[in-house]
Amino acid sequence: MQRRQERQGRRTGTIAVGSALGMTAVLAGCGLTGDSGDVTLRLVAADYGDSTANSSQKYWDQLVKEYENTHSGVQVEVSVYSWNDVDRKVKELVDAGKAPDMAQIGAYADYADAGLLYQADDLLSIRTQADFAAQFATAGQVKDVQYGMPFAASTRLLFYNKTLFKDAGLTAPKTWAQLAADAAALKERGVKYPYALPLGPEEAQAETMQWVLSGGGGYTDSFGTYALDSAENVDTFTWLKDDLVDKGLTGPVAPGKLNRAAAFSAFASGDVGMLNGHPSLMKIAEKKGVKFGMVPMPGVSGQTKYSMGVADWMTAFKQGGHAEQVGDFLDFVYSEKNVLAFSREYDLLPVTNSASEVMATADQDTDLKPFLQELPQSELYPVGKTSWSTVSAAVKKDIGKAVAPGANPSTVLSRLESTAAKEDNKQ
């Protein structure tokens, strides 16, 4: 802490910021390399916006403008890429021996296992580290050492179309049986997707995790070992197949072919009775005038105790050797004000306790509070496993087959478990 206070006291001045959206040439004219003692940090970040108007580049530009008022000797280039490209771009840079100083991406364990990342202890002040919500700090660990710094979070709730439910005389379900009964009633009234079950390759791992948690299972057991074919998971997918899919309650598109984006779009068009959604679905539906409600995910005998949580990660690569400067910048990034600003702009949940406490009582955050309430009991993907990226890809590719006509869910889940165990044994 003393080291950080000393270096902060030495700094006032400016930072130049570049982006993947065309700022490089401008920086070249402003003296990008700076004086002999200057340091240039390079950050690759993901874009959370859905248009140019709210691109994450604007967030980073504003953040750095504020940072430059009290710091000197450091320059920061920010390159923003879509989620379709950012992980691939970082991998290309790392493979080419040009790792960025920082990368805000979807996973970190492979890089940590290869010894390429700084530990959080090497970078952040004690105050910043202590402010991370406990489940995210733990999820950012590989072999009990934190390398992944949580950057943004989200949970899932069951969205339902209030108009469709009112017309059918229904109430929001609390159990699987009620969900199936509601879906059947909606089908009778001609609703296209009584329950939208997106098990297509876009984000099948999320829908899968939400359902297995609601059935008392998960991707791993209490010891952290993969358990995709557990009795609970088999029971969950058997119920999905028998009670929803085979009864025609999931719509005209096979779940294995239905992607999340298409399901969200159908909900916004008024064609979906129920589906699992994250906060961004609120704006999508509101823009189309759809009246919706949100409740915790139904479970076997009542509302699910554990919700699915998702976190994206900030990482810092050792290659550039600028631990002190990177740590100083990230302490600023994780200040309460900046975490709140980002979360509010993109309808995401804070990863720090201080920002979460503010959001829990602020009137402007009313829409996000139902998701925030789920956060303490949320469970995240097993991102600390270096095998997770392979396992996740396998789930995206094959889990839809578990509910296909004539399929045996147990067989599909056993095959996925074999893949997971094989990958885990490589470590």
Written as one string, the DSSP assignment of 313-358 is: EEEEBSTT--HHHHHHHHHHHTSHHHHHHHHHHTT-B-SBHHHHHH
The reply to whether 242 and 135 lie within a common domain is no
Is residue 103 one of the residues assigned to a domain? yes
The reply to whether 287 and 176 lie within a common domain is yes
Backbone CA torsion sign across 295, 299, 301, 303? negative
The b-or-e profile of 389-421 (16+ CB within 10 A means b, else e) is bbbbebbbebbbbbbbeebebbebbebbbebbb
Separation between Cα atoms, residue 33 and residue 39, nearest integer Å = 8
* 3-state DSSP helix/strand/coil % of the chain, to nearest 5: 45, 15, 35
pTM: 0.84
State the residue range of the domain holding 171.
Answer: 157-296+387-425
The reply to whether 330 and 394 lie within a common domain is no
Separation between Cα atoms, residue 299 and residue 297, nearest integer Å = 7
Q: Are 78 and 43 in contact (CB under 8 A)?
A: yes
Is residue 44 one of the residues assigned to a domain? yes
Is residue 301 one of the residues assigned to a domain? no
The reply to whether 277 and 410 lie within a common domain is yes
Q: Which two tokens stand for residue 165?
A: 């439910």
Is residue 366 one of the residues assigned to a domain? yes
Cα 316–Cα 318–Cα 319 angle in degrees, nearest 5: 120
Strand 102-105 versus strand 193-195 pairing type: unpaired
Separation between Cα atoms, residue 109 and residue 147, nearest integer Å = 8
Distances (CA, A) of 266 to 49, 272, 300, 309, 337: 20, 6, 27, 23, 36
Is residue 35 one of the residues assigned to a domain? yes
Is residue 353 one of the residues assigned to a domain? yes
Give the model's pLDDT for residue 2. Answer: 40
The reply to whether 292 and 392 lie within a common domain is yes
Q: Tokens 């087959």 label which residue?
A: 401
The reply to whether 148 and 8 lie within a common domain is yes
Give the model's pLDDT for residue 51. Answer: 78
For the chain (427 residues), the mean pLDDT of every run of 10, in chain order, is 38 35 33 54 92 88 84 87 91 96 94 96 96 94 95 96 98 98 98 98 94 96 95 98 98 97 96 96 94 96 88 96 95 96 94 96 94 90 92 96 97 98 85
The reply to whether 148 and 161 lie within a common domain is no
Centre a 10 Å sphere on the Cβ of residue 70 and count the other Cβ atoms it contains.
11
Q: Which amino acid is at 246?
A: D
Separation between Cα atoms, residue 357 and residue 405, nearest integer Å = 47
Give the model's pLDDT for residue 141. Answer: 95
Q: Which amino acid is at 47?
A: D
Please give the tally of structural domains in the chain. 2
The reply to whether 199 and 338 lie within a common domain is no
Q: For residue 371, what is the domain's CATH number?
A: 3.40.190.10
Separation between Cα atoms, residue 262 and residue 165, nearest integer Å = 21
The reply to whether 39 and 85 lie within a common domain is yes
Residue ranges of E strands in 125-190: 141-142, 145-146, 149-155, 157-161
Give the model's pLDDT for residue 427. Answer: 63
Separation between Cα atoms, residue 352 and residue 343, nearest integer Å = 11
